[in-house]
Amino acid sequence: MLSNEQLSTFRSQLIKAKKEVEEQLDDGDHFDLEQGHYHESMGELSLYDNHPADQGTDLYEREKDIALNEHIEKQLKDIESALQAIDEGRYGICEKCGKDIALDRLDAIPTTTYCVEHSPNQVVSHNRPIEEGVLMPPFGKFVDEEDNVAYDAEDSWQDVARYGTSESPSDLVDPVDSYNEVFIESDENVGYVEDYENFVGTDIEGKEIIIYPNSQHERYEEVLEEEGIMTMFGDLPPYEKEPYTKDEAED
* Predicted confidence (pLDDT) per residue in 144-203, tens digit: 556 666 677 777 877 888 787 777 777 777 777 777 778 777 777 766 777 777 788 877
**Best CA proximity match to 242, nearest among 209, 219, 197, 220:** 209
Residues in the chain: 251
Helix axes 4-27, 52-87, angle to 10 degrees: 160
Give the pLDDT of residue 129. 74
Residue type, 247: D
Q: Which contiguous run of DSSP H or E holds residue 83? A: helix 52-87
**Does residue 235 carry a pLDDT above 70?**
no
What Å distances lie between residue 29 and 25, 125, 161, 220, CA to CA? Answer: 6, 32, 42, 69
> Does the structure show a pLDDT above 80 at 142?
no
Average pLDDT value for the chain: 77
Q: Which CATH number fits domain 4-108: 3.90.550.10, 3.10.20.30, 3.20.20.150, 1.20.120.910?
A: 1.20.120.910
Q: Is 58 helix (H, G, I), strand (E, B) or coil?
A: helix
Q: Is the pLDDT at 100 greater than 70, yes or no?
A: yes
The CATH 1.20.120.910 domain(s) of the chain lie at: 4-108
Q: pTM here?
A: 0.48
